[in-house]
Amino acid sequence: MTQTKRNIAIIGSGLVGSLLAIYLRKYGHTITVFDRRPDIREVEFSGRSINLAMSNRGWKALKEVNIDEEIRKIGIPLDKRAMHVIGKAEYYQKYGKEGEAIWSISRGVLNKKMIDLAENAGVEFRFEEKVWDVDLPNAQVFTGETEKGEWKAYDFDLVFGCDGAFSRVRHKMQRRSRFDYSQDFIDVGYKELTIPPNADGTHKLDRNSFHIWPRGQFMFIAMPNLDGSFTCTLFMPFEGDVSFESIKTKEDAKHFFGTYFPNVKNDIENLMQDFFKNPTSAMVTMKCYPWTYWDKVALVGDSAHAIVPFYGQGMNAGFEDIYVLNSIIQEQGDDWEAIFKNYQEVRKPNGDAIAELSYRNFIEMSSKTADPMFLLQKKIEKRFSEKYPEKWIPVYSRVTFSDRPYSEALAIGDFQEKIMQEVMAMPKIEEKWDSIEVENKILKALEMGH
């Protein structure tokens, strides 16, 4: 589908902004990307990020513009979780079927690559130029050194807000009447830490695993990088008995890592250093509606639907926004009002669904992983799903290894959960969990369907 050439601004040169630039450039539009930060290719990456887990939806969006193979070179496939449980040997849980994996990619490395690709395609990047205001009906963008100083005005035909959870573009839309908005923080924060490579450059832990140290109220994870290091994240309450607030001295930190993470004790010095150097960050679920303004402005990615990171879907959801927006462009052609209307109607329920799924995963990880009945339920589900893979696809696989709508994954997940609740209510389920009786009960319930 050819389109009338437009002059388009994209606010934000992050992953979503740079991929959208690559997509729109294919139609021959003139693209200017603004970012208040310096060019990420010229500075050391600040590292306030959990490593990315690229899954099906992300790959599909990259493939559409033929850059998936290029990106695979900077990723490491992880086909399993490596569980580090105190008092047990490290053990593994396969993510999906044979060949299914999520990919660990450093956010910084990926972002640099994407900006290179966009620039090669003819996209103009204006770094260190902060957008302070957007005139929505006129698609006019105002930039300047400071909020109160002189501003420069740019006229565009279309403006895309890809400026993340604290979007300035959305902020402007939010001041309008009848704009629904919410931001909800969780009481858990996170901090990035690093496990360096061995002296010979190899990885200190299994290279093709997503490493998890679940500890009830808190959790430590590690994802591999190409250079042999692991990017780790410590998730922990801000306040309380064991919390970021409670760890004040090097002594506290040493005790904390020594007690809860004995198998990383050789790296404690390093972890401790990071602990006091790196910031503690907050996590928010952000929802809003509408996502667009007339035929002029649209929000894409985190600016429209920021989610907590416990499903590893933030970037994947943003990339899928772009993929879907592009399919709508293919159908609707030049009518940007229709394109934007259709885009927000299709994507909003999916943004809400992945927000809900991600939040539930946080609750599950925080409060249920130690519950034996919950673990038993997971075991029954797994057993059934392995025996009847066509009848029972676990929600995790629906989200991670499929491109069906998130809202469908949520709805089917709820249905499966209802069945499992009935199963768990069976008398003496602990004894007969792997019996034919249980299996038949699930088969019967599935047959009766919704």
Binding site for a second copy (CB under 8 A): 147-148, 166, 174-175, 177-185, 238, 282
Q: Taking the complex as a whole, how short is the minimal distance between the CB of residue 189 and a second copy, in angstroms? A: 9
| Largest CA-CA distance found in the chain, in angstroms, rounded | 74
Residues in a beta bridge with 134: 141
Are 299 and 167 in contact, with CB atoms under 8 Å apart?
yes
SS3 state at 2: coil
- Compute the distance between CA of residue 254 and CA of residue 153 in angstroms, rounded to an integer: 53
Q: Taking the complex as a whole, how short is the minimal distance between the CB of residue 238 and a second copy, in angstroms? A: 8
Q: Taking the complex as a whole, how short is the minimal distance between the CB of residue 171 and a second copy, in angstroms? A: 9
- Compute the distance between CA of residue 363 and CA of residue 418 in angstroms, rounded to an integer: 18
DSSP label at residue 131: E
Are 264 and 257 in contact, with CB atoms under 8 Å apart?
yes
Q: Output 130 or 378, the one with its CB closest to a second copy.
A: 130
Q: Output 45 or 238, the one with its CB closest to a second copy.
A: 238
Q: Taking the complex as a whole, how short is the minimal distance between the CB of residue 218 and a second copy, in angstroms? A: 18
> Residue 383 has which token pair?
């057993």
Q: Output 91 or 185, the one with its CB closest to a second copy.
A: 185
Q: What is the DSSP string of 380-446?
A: HHHHHHHH-TTT---HHHHHHS--S-HHHHHHHHHHHHHHHHHHHTSTTHHHHTTSHHHHHHHHHHH
Q: Taking the complex as a whole, how short is the minimal distance between the CB of residue 240 and a second copy, in angstroms? A: 14
Q: Taking the complex as a whole, how short is the minimal distance between the CB of residue 254 and a second copy, in angstroms? A: 28
Q: Output 238 or 260, the one with its CB closest to a second copy.
A: 238
Q: Output 73 or 175, the one with its CB closest to a second copy.
A: 175
Q: Output 144 or 214, the one with its CB closest to a second copy.
A: 144
